[in-house]
Structure 1
Amino acid sequence: MSKRGSLFLTGLIALLTGPVASAESISTTIHHHYQAPRALGMGDAFVAVANDYTALFYNPAGLARREDGQINLSMSFAGTPGAMDFYNEYKDIEESNKTESEKQTAYLQLIEKHYGDVYSIRAAPLEGVWVRPNWGMAFIPLDLSVETAMHKQIGPTLNTTVYADTTLAMGYGDDLHWFDHGRLSWGITGKFVNRGFFSEPIAAIDLAQSSEIVKKEDLLEGYTVDADLGLLWTPELPDSGIWSVLRLARPTFGAVVRNVGEVGFGQTMKLLNKEKQDGTPEKLYRVVDLGSRWEYPSMWIFGGRGVLDVRDLGHPDFNWRKGVHLGFEFDWTVSTWWKGQYRVGLSQGFWTAGLSAELGIFNLDVVSYADDVGTKNTPIESRVYATRLNLDF
């Protein structure tokens, strides 16, 4: 199997796929450096929740409100339906006895057949996060995202964008004890990220010529050190009048400034690409996320919350359709070792849904969400299904 075939099969072998000629992404998808299935199921609105191990990345102020420790080890995979079918069609052409000219014609027909289709995968074969009251740390050896879209540009092309991130993060959070209008918490997460990146339209002629056109030195690689700053505020409301009703909902408001330095990936350790490269990977953009959380009254074994976020303020591909995220989460608890949640939401104008089930230290998350892969004026839905297997200690 060629390296190009690996791109569509698993993505985990795709670190050496696709030529790169520039650092400019040809994708309009807003790429989030970290995603969690729990947040995605509730519309990816999590800024004011941040009450589990993912607070380290969604809002480090949540570390200040932890009352116990948690170690999470997980593996996750997300993908669009039809990606495997497309890969199988590609594989049949690649492994056929056709001449180079015949293969080029077959690839042209394959791309034309799938004009307008967008296929993506995202895989993290191992994540480790450890949080305690006030602090946390995480190591993610590989978080790989691959997006391939069929376009008719100069000719039929596969517009392919890949992010391959290795992340080491440490965070700290605490309360501002001098604040006397409710509980105000702050937090900071420092991040070291090494990124492999490429983004390039791949023509049918390139697919047909040779399986060796993909070279390790084609990757753009770099590392950065940056930080996220977060706040959580739970106001102290009067216990009389209309405020007493709001008090039952225990509203909490959150804000995060992500990648405050926005220094880019200008330095490289040459872990993936030891050759001189022209350009740098797409940077981590400085953006602002705002959010709110409203709790439901607990009834029997059920509880939950509603959330509303505005995310990615300041991102070059931001618009209000992409930026507004709304979600609802419903908790159920049978015992301390048997519990879970159901979730629904709206993210980037498309529905989301998910569930979690925890049995002892084993936890399963499944979710469906969608990325908006269109332009600012023309939304296009790319439906994704994802699962994560967890061990929680």
Structure 2
Amino acid sequence: MKKLLPLSLLAFSTLIYADMSTQEFLYKDPRIMGMGGANVAIGGYSTAIFSNPAGLIKIKKSHGIEAEVLGLTISGSEKIKQFSDDLSNSSDSEIINTVGKYSGDAFNATISNYTSFSYHAQNDTAYSFGLLASADMNFIPHENSGANGILESHSRVYGGIFLASAKKYKGISPDILDGVLSGDLTIGVTVKYVKQKSYEAGLDVGEVTEHKDDIVKYLQDTYEVDNSGFAFDVGTLYEFDNKTWNPALGLSVMNIGSLDFDAYGAQPLSVNLGASLSPEISWSNSLKFAVDYVDLFNSQQARIRNYNPYRSQDQYDNADIGYDVMNHLRLGTSLGLLDNSWFMATLNAGLYKGAYTAGIDMQLALIKLELATYQEQLGSTLGQLEDRRYVVGLGIGW
């Protein structure tokens, strides 16, 4: 049973309840997830394009060309290694008992790399080019081999190319609003191409036992589905003329195009709102507060397995997730402890889908280290199936 679920398999397969596989993201920056996932009105990183491309305008001009090379991010559930080791060490006769031990628990493993080059020009225009490669993995064991088998796979390995630009227009408000609501408006646009291979399967005991030595190849040969598409995102950021609190409002419309394909990993069009405050204080180089309300019209979807015992392969369909305000709410705060040419450290905290988040970002010269934790909600209702995840980001940047 040594090859049932080796760690290398985690780069290719995802196993989870069919009606509990959310798919609302392409990339989760640990810096942002540490502060509750709130970034619609914050920005400042190249990864702003995954929430609001207008946020690119907050990349510091003094940094010149900002590069993030080999930005490797690894995330996993709390007990994922223990579960993997137990399965790997189980004999054929012990598989059902091992699965039963973890039945009802949710697990995740994600490996991503986002490499980007960004530039904030002196004419208040920002540009960014990025390459994404990722494997998204979620799994849950079933004690009884029913409609979902003992291991159900909703997997994807995907990549994409991203081109983005943001332009700031200063002093656009009417004269009557000067000194009250006057400020600067930034408009941002992202164009992206995403290609993925997805693997959806409810593996029963016989399949797992027969293909335990070549399960990756079996998933690829039997269940692989190719999808690709172009899309663009549009976002705005309004920064008020208040140098004490530096308030800002953000709005983004994401995934306008052909990423809403009928497979795990679909990216439906979504509308997101955000607000932030960045007060000037003497004892910190950076303090930020943010609140987002994402996917305003609840377009995000889950994958539903329509089990049919008379078909050789079941049909999976996208289905809307029930509307729950807390699933859409993001709250975050960020406190910069130190930021100079050699070392940077920032503490993050927040609330994501009703559960706490925390994180720390550090950079020593060119080496970046990011740590974060957040809790994903995988059930059809809040609290039905919770998965606490831990994220490590390591990269080279300047």
Same fold (TM over 0.5): yes
Q: For the structure 1 residues 154 and 51, does the alpha-carbon distance in structure 2 shift closer, same or farther, using more than 3 Å as the test?
A: same
For residue 216 of structure 1, what is the aligned residue in structure 2?
A: 220
For residue 113 of structure 1, what is the aligned residue in structure 2?
A: 101
Rounded to whole Å, the distance in 2 between the matches of 1:62 and 1:282 is: 24
- SS of structure 2 residue aligned to 1:248: coil
Q: TM-score, normalised by structure 2?
A: 0.82
- Number of aligned pairs? 353
Q: CA deviation at 1:2?
A: 7.7
Q: CA deviation at 1:263?
A: 4.7
Q: For the structure 1 residues 303 and 178, does the alpha-carbon distance in structure 2 shift closer, same or farther, using more than 3 Å as the test?
A: closer
For residue 207 of structure 1, what is the aligned residue in structure 2?
A: 208
Letter in 1 for 2:283: W
Q: Which of 241, 249, 255 lines up with 2:251 in the alignment? A: 255
Rounded to whole Å, the distance in 2 between the matches of 1:187 and 1:43 is: 23
Rounded to whole Å, the distance in 1 between the matches of 2:114 and 2:105 is: 30
Are 2:54 and 1:71 equivalent residues in the alignment? no
Q: CA deviation at 1:176?
A: 3.4
Q: TM-score, normalised by structure 1?
A: 0.83
Identity %: 20
Whether the 8 Å CA contact 1:75–1:389 is kept in 2: the answer is yes
RMSD: 2.5
Whether the 8 Å CA contact 1:221–1:281 is kept in 2: the answer is no
CA distances 1:123-148 after superposition (whole Å, capped 9, x unpaired): 02x431001122110012x2111100
- SS of structure 2 residue aligned to 1:51: coil
Q: For the structure 1 residues 166 and 3, does the alpha-carbon distance in structure 2 shift closer, same or farther, using more than 3 Å as the test?
A: farther
- SS of structure 1 residue aligned to 2:100: helix
Q: CA deviation at 1:281?
A: 4.9
For residue 129 of structure 1, what is the aligned residue in structure 2?
A: 116
Whether the 8 Å CA contact 1:326–1:347 is kept in 2: the answer is yes
Q: CA deviation at 1:303?
A: 3.0
Whether the 8 Å CA contact 2:357–2:374 is kept in 1: the answer is yes
For residue 242 of structure 1, what is the aligned residue in structure 2?
A: none
Whether the 8 Å CA contact 1:262–1:283 is kept in 2: the answer is no
CA distances 1:53-100 after superposition (whole Å, capped 9, x unpaired): 21232221123344232000111111012111111121122xx4xxxx
Whether the 8 Å CA contact 1:78–1:387 is kept in 2: the answer is yes
Letter in 2 for 1:131: S
Whether the 8 Å CA contact 1:64–1:186 is kept in 2: the answer is no
- Structure 1, unpaired ranges of 5+: 97-102, 238-246, 266-278
Rounded to whole Å, the distance in 1 between the matches of 2:376 and 2:347 is: 21
- SS of structure 2 residue aligned to 1:50: coil
Q: Structure 2 matches for 1:1-393, cutoff 5 A?
A: 4-6=4-6, 8-9=7-8, 11-12=10-11, 14=12, 25-66=18-59, 67=61, 68-73=64-69, 74-93=71-90, 96=91, 103=92, 105-124=93-112, 126-133=113-120, 134-140=126-132, 142-151=133-142, 152=144, 154=146, 157-177=150-170, 179-180=172-173, 181-211=182-212, 212=214, 214-217=218-221, 218-236=223-241, 248-265=244-261, 280-313=263-296, 314-315=299-300, 316-317=320-321, 318-333=323-338, 335-376=340-381, 378-393=383-398
Rounded to whole Å, the distance in 1 between the matches of 2:10 and 2:283 is: 44
Rounded to whole Å, the distance in 2 between the matches of 1:182 and 1:169 is: 29
Higher mean C-alpha displacement, 194-203 vs 165-174: 194-203
Rounded to whole Å, the distance in 1 between the matches of 2:220 and 2:268 is: 26
Q: For the structure 1 residues 377 and 300, does the alpha-carbon distance in structure 2 shift closer, same or farther, using more than 3 Å as the test?
A: closer
- SS of structure 2 residue aligned to 1:376: coil
Q: For the structure 1 residues 248 and 10, does the alpha-carbon distance in structure 2 shift closer, same or farther, using more than 3 Å as the test?
A: farther
Rounded to whole Å, the distance in 2 between the matches of 1:258 and 1:32 is: 11
Q: For the structure 1 residues 282 and 35, does the alpha-carbon distance in structure 2 shift closer, same or farther, using more than 3 Å as the test?
A: closer
Whether the 8 Å CA contact 1:329–1:342 is kept in 2: the answer is yes
CA distances 1:26-60 after superposition (whole Å, capped 9, x unpaired): 43434411110110000000111111221232221
Q: CA deviation at 1:197?
A: 1.0
Whether the 8 Å CA contact 1:171–1:189 is kept in 2: the answer is yes
Q: For the structure 1 residues 149 and 254, does the alpha-carbon distance in structure 2 shift closer, same or farther, using more than 3 Å as the test?
A: same
Q: For the structure 1 residues 222 and 331, does the alpha-carbon distance in structure 2 shift closer, same or farther, using more than 3 Å as the test?
A: same
Whether the 8 Å CA contact 1:196–1:281 is kept in 2: the answer is no
Rounded to whole Å, the distance in 1 between the matches of 2:57 and 2:339 is: 28
- SS of structure 2 residue aligned to 1:325: strand
Whether the 8 Å CA contact 2:43–2:58 is kept in 1: the answer is no
Higher mean C-alpha displacement, 63-72 vs 189-198: 63-72
Rounded to whole Å, the distance in 2 between the matches of 1:112 and 1:10 is: 21
CA distances 1:127-172 after superposition (whole Å, capped 9, x unpaired): 31001122110012x2111100123562662232212111111001
Whether the 8 Å CA contact 1:56–1:137 is kept in 2: the answer is no
Q: For the structure 1 residues 36 and 158, does the alpha-carbon distance in structure 2 shift closer, same or farther, using more than 3 Å as the test?
A: same
Whether the 8 Å CA contact 1:350–1:381 is kept in 2: the answer is no
